[in-house]
Amino acid sequence: MAQVERVRVVVIGAGPGGICAGVRLLEAGYRDFVIVDQASGVGGTWYHNRYPGAECDVMSHLYSFSFELNPEWSQRYARQPEIREYLERCVKKYGLEPHLRLGAGVRRAVWDEARAVWCLQLDGGTEIEANALISAVGMFNEPSWPDIEGIDEFEGTIFHSARWLDGHDLTGERVAIIGSAASAVQMVPEVAPVADQLFLFQRTAIWVLPKDDRPYTDEDRERFRTDPEAMPELRQKLIDSVNAMMTFSDMEARRNAEAAGRENLAKVIDDDARRKLTPQMPWGSRRPIVSNVYYPAFNRPNVEVVTDAIARITPDGIETVDGVTWPVDTIVLATGFAVTKYFAAIDVVGRDGRQLQDEWAGDPRAYLGVVAPGYPNVFMLYGPNTNNGSIMYMIECQVEYAVRMLRWMDETDTAWMDVRPDVVDQYNEQLQRDLDEIEVWQAEKGGYYRGASGRIVTQWPYTMADHCARLRADGPESYVVVRRSDINA
């Protein structure tokens, strides 16, 4: 029989959440933990998403850990290679390498209440038992493949933007990009100059605002290195700016945003292309996106936006409902992620045999986005209804909460703690009422914000500061608590 590894805590995911959890566990004195990830390297979404042009839409000095401010960012919005390098440096600097178990995805997690442990089955047959889990799988972990007739019959090359086919050269090819959200906005300007033809298949036009993407100068970086106040002051300024916009309640700011979006859109010379790219929804209805180079790409003679719905994929192209066939060599699916799965992307069995995949089924609910009833000693990072602002800031608050609960368990000889269902219900009832008050989120029923029931299951309707404050104000009174003495009695 395979030997079972036993640890105090398993962290699932080696992206920003898992790295932050590892750093804070070490700071709190925990050494008996592992960080497991199906990928062969660290970085999470920044490991997998390496399509041309991949970058962050949060400014670099806010998309970083408060405990590891980085004076060396090259520009205001960092690109994927630089973010991944930053995360790799964090792993080395804080000594997380001995705790990593890479290339080992979690297939199943089962709660054993008699022993108060989670039993994990990993790829390759490895088994680990842990008293507590920190799920850092987040939202953007499982690519979403569209259900299009004939997708398996295409004889060219097809892949998802989140699983970029390394080594595949698009030079001189006829390329189709299906989807028009963040990854497509970033990818189109990079693919357009090398492709023979580029067709963007767009279902919904979105707002794309201009951005301040100036590079940092050598003088900027020197000031960040030598002035101890420079980076904290900039970071706080960014936090204040983001907090002010998160609830979309400032009507003047919304009008200014749409005016900037229209000015950005005016860069498209062709009237028909500009009409197709013009949003029909209020700004903020979907994820805000920024780019200075997306719209100008449609002025190239080899780039076309297609708005007729896709009927099917043929062996050599894409057929739209108007009967037109678009011959292509490569199809890139920029169709996003299965964002409503969260921790349920794994087969999780909790108390009394309850199945998280069945309970959530596209309609996840949690308390403070961090814990769910029936799954003791599990703390989620980037869980349901925590998507807004800078996720790096939000993750730090969630990790702080998880580590505080773990320390309380140790101090009180607690075997397991399970959030009370009444606490979860009351929280989610108020949460949904407040989500319904965000006007722009009611105007658009598409996108990834809503679950199968129609509830908004991804978004946080308050500020980042409020999320942190609520987590810090919460404690064991929200839980059913079982001491080890009760189990051993």
364: Cβ–Cβ under 8 A, 6 or more apart, which residues?
A: 340, 341, 342, 344, 372, 383, 384, 451, 457
With contact defined as beta carbons under 8 Å apart, do 299 and 462 qualify?
Answer: no
Torsion of CA 125, 127, 132, 137, to 10 degrees: -10
pLDDT band at 449 (very low <50, low <70, confident <90, very high): very high
CATH number, domain with residue 181: 3.50.50.60
> Both 395 and 369 in a single domain?
yes
Torsion of CA 364, 367, 373, 379, to 10 degrees: 90
Q: Tell me the torsion sign for CA atoms 18, 24, 26, 30.
A: negative
pLDDT band at 399 (very low <50, low <70, confident <90, very high): very high
Whether 394 is in a domain gets the answer yes
Torsion of CA 80, 82, 88, 91, to 10 degrees: -110
> Both 60 and 157 in a single domain?
no
> Both 189 and 300 in a single domain?
yes
Average pLDDT, integer, range 430-458 = 89
312, 333, 354: which is the final residue of a domain?
A: 333
Whether 235 is in a domain gets the answer no
> Both 66 and 123 in a single domain?
yes
Average pLDDT, integer, range 458-475 = 97
Whether 234 is in a domain gets the answer no
For position 419, what pLDDT does the model report? 98
* pLDDT for residue 446 is more than 70: no
CA dist 330 and 451 (Å) reads 31
For position 339, what pLDDT does the model report? 85
Q: How far is CA 65 from CA 21, 91, 104, 242, 472, in A?
A: 11, 12, 26, 16, 18
Which residues is 396 bridged to in the sheet?
none
> Both 93 and 15 in a single domain?
yes
Whether 244 is in a domain gets the answer no
For position 141, what pLDDT does the model report? 82
Whether 43 is in a domain gets the answer yes
333, 353, 381: which is the final residue of a domain?
A: 333
> Both 55 and 195 in a single domain?
no
Q: How far is CA 32 from CA 22, 99, 100, 487, in A?
A: 11, 9, 12, 22
Average pLDDT, integer, range 430-446 = 89
Whether 237 is in a domain gets the answer no
For position 340, what pLDDT does the model report? 87
For position 447, what pLDDT does the model report? 75
For position 487, what pLDDT does the model report? 80
Query: Lowest mean pLDDT: which of 166-175, 315-324, 332-341, 457-466?
Result: 332-341
Based on C-alpha coordinates, what's the Rg of the chain? 23
For position 140, what pLDDT does the model report? 84
CA dist 211 and 88 (Å) reads 27
Structural domain of 180: 151-207+249-333
E strands in 95-196? 100-102, 106-112, 117-122, 127-135, 157-160, 174-178
Query: What b/e string do you get for 270-309 counting C-beta neighbours within 10 Å, with b at 16 or more?
Result: eeebbebbebebbbbbbbbbbbebbbbbbeeeebbbbeee
98: Cβ–Cβ under 8 A, 6 or more apart, which residues?
A: none
Percent of the chain with pLDDT over 90: 92
pLDDT in tens, 334-359: 999 888 899 999 999 999 999 999 99
> Both 109 and 40 in a single domain?
yes
CA dist 306 and 326 (Å) reads 10
Q: Please give the residue that has the higher pLDDT: either 274 or 4.
A: 274
Which residues is 355 bridged to in the sheet?
349
Which residues is 117 bridged to in the sheet?
112
* pLDDT for residue 445 is more than 90: no
CA dist 143 and 178 (Å) reads 13
* pLDDT for residue 323 is more than 70: yes
> Both 272 and 344 in a single domain?
no
Structural domains in the chain (count):
2
CA dist 65 and 466 (Å) reads 18
Whether 429 is in a domain gets the answer yes
> Both 326 and 432 in a single domain?
no
Tokens of 183: 């990854």
* pLDDT for residue 278 is more than 70: yes
* pLDDT for residue 363 is more than 80: yes
For position 160, what pLDDT does the model report? 96
> Both 411 and 440 in a single domain?
yes
* pLDDT for residue 237 is more than 90: yes
Query: Lowest mean pLDDT: which of 147-151, 403-407, 448-452?
Result: 448-452
Q: Token pair 């205001």 is at which residue?
A: 76
* pLDDT for residue 2 is more than 70: no
| Average pLDDT over the chain, rounded to an integer | 95
> Both 329 and 352 in a single domain?
no
265, 299, 333: which is the final residue of a domain?
A: 333
Angle at 401 between CA 463 and CA 45, to 5 degrees: 70
Average pLDDT, integer, range 138-155 = 92
Whether 357 is in a domain gets the answer yes
> Both 200 and 313 in a single domain?
yes
